[in-house]
């Protein structure tokens, strides 16, 4: 599992642009496979429409983009937050009009994609961002758009990478996505054998997925109570509060009025729910 160690700096540091750029400057890119991973290559081989809009977030050296180009795809976008890496990618894909290279925080990006390829991006984010990841993915996908790729099916002592398991992911994506595949991956690269899930998740176009800021919760018990109350509202399919209680993503069949959400949590005057600015 040597290739999974990607921390050279203290993991207490925020996993921000400075952190990721430092990894590239120090060439401390233990996650880098040097080639497209076999499961993602196999996935790409099933995509028939070569003009599909395809996003690779946290793309790193973007071997998936190279493979897509070789296969004749014409609408490929790579986003990464690390400027040092982006300079390299701009050289690598110079004169390639079919690949857009964007220096950006994924959560700031706007667009509409048919496919979003997940390859060690989710696991690189602090776990507290997972509900926001679901919200953002839903926002960036076109109707019937899909996230496809790999998630770790194991835990790590220290991250990044941050692991997880199937049940946790099913609960996280429930409602916002239809889970077409979430299976133990049988063709992972050797160092990751038996430790990945292959996922294919289709956007539930009928679902409203909204992100809120939350204030006032200080313990998991209170989080559970608030989540239960919000989940019991008519039309709500799923409620995911993050691990530091500062954000909550609510998935519903119709957008729930903010006043109703506020009333639901008002049994404790410390609790405040506010629509996030986006």
Residues within the interface to ligand SAM (CB under 6 A)? 6, 20, 31-32, 57-61, 79-82, 85, 105-107, 119-121, 124
Q: Which is closer to ligand SAM, CB of 93 or CB of 271?
A: 93
Q: Are strands 247-252 and 236-241 parallel, antiparallel or unpaired?
A: antiparallel
* CB of 223 vs ligand SAM, minimal distance in Å: 24
Query: How far apart, in whole angstroms, are the C-alpha atoms of residue 72 and residue 69?
Result: 5
- State the minimum distance, in angstroms, from the CB of residue 275 to ligand SAM: 21
The Cα diameter of the chain in Å comes to 59
Q: How far is the CB of 258 from ligand SAM (least distance, A)?
A: 27
Give which of 123, 111, 135, 125 is closest to 54, Cα–Cα: 111
For ligand SAM, the closer CB: 58 or 164: 58
Strand partners, 78: 56, 101
Dihedral sign for Cα atoms in the order 232, 237, 242, 243 = positive
* 58 vs 175 by CB, closer to ligand SAM: 58
Smaller CB separation from ligand SAM, 4 or 172? 4
DSSP bridge partners of 276: none
- The residue (of 28 and 222) whose beta carbon lies closer to ligand SAM is 28
Query: What is the smallest separation between the CB atom of 17 and ligand SAM, expressed in angstroms?
Result: 8
Q: Which residue has the tokens 């429930």?
A: 174
Return d(Cα 36, Cα 10) in angstroms, integer: 29
Q: How far is the CB of 180 from ligand SAM (least distance, A)?
A: 22
């Amino acid at each position: 599992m040597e290739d999974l160690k990607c921390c050279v700096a203290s993991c207490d540091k925020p996993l921000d642009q400075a952190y990721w750029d430092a990894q590239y400057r120090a060439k401390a890119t233990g996650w880098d496979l040097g080639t497209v991973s076999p499961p993602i290559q196999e996935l790409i081989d099933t995509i028939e429409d070569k003009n599909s809009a395809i996003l690779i977030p946290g793309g790193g050296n973007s071997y998936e983009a190279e493979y897509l180009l070789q296969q004749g795809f014409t609408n490929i976008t790579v986003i990464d937050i690390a400027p040092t890496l982006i300079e390299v990618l701009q050289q690598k894909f110079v004169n390639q009009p079919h690949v857009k290279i964007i220096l950006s925080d994924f959560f700031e990006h706007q667009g509409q994609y048919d496919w979003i390829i997940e390859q060690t991006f989710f696991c690189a984010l602090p776990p507290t961002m997972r509900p926001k990841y679901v919200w953002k993915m839903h926002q960036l996908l076109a109707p019937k758009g899909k996230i496809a790729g790999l998630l770790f099916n194991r835990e790590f002592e220290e991250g990044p990478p941050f692991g997880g398991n199937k049940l946790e992911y099913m609960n996280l994506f429930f409602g916002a996505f239809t889970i077409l595949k979430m299976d133990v991956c049988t063709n992972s690269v050797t160092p990751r054998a038996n430790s990945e899930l292959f996922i294919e998740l289709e956007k539930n176009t009928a679902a409203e997925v909204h992100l809120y800021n939350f204030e006032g919760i200080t313990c998991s018990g209170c989080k559970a109570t608030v989540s239960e109350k919000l989940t019991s509202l008519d039309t709500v399919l799923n409620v995911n509060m993050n691990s530091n209680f500062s954000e909550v993503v609510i998935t519903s069949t119709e957008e729930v009025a903010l006043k109703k959400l506020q009333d639901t949590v008002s049994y404790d005057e410390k609790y405040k729910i506010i629509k996030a600015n986006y």
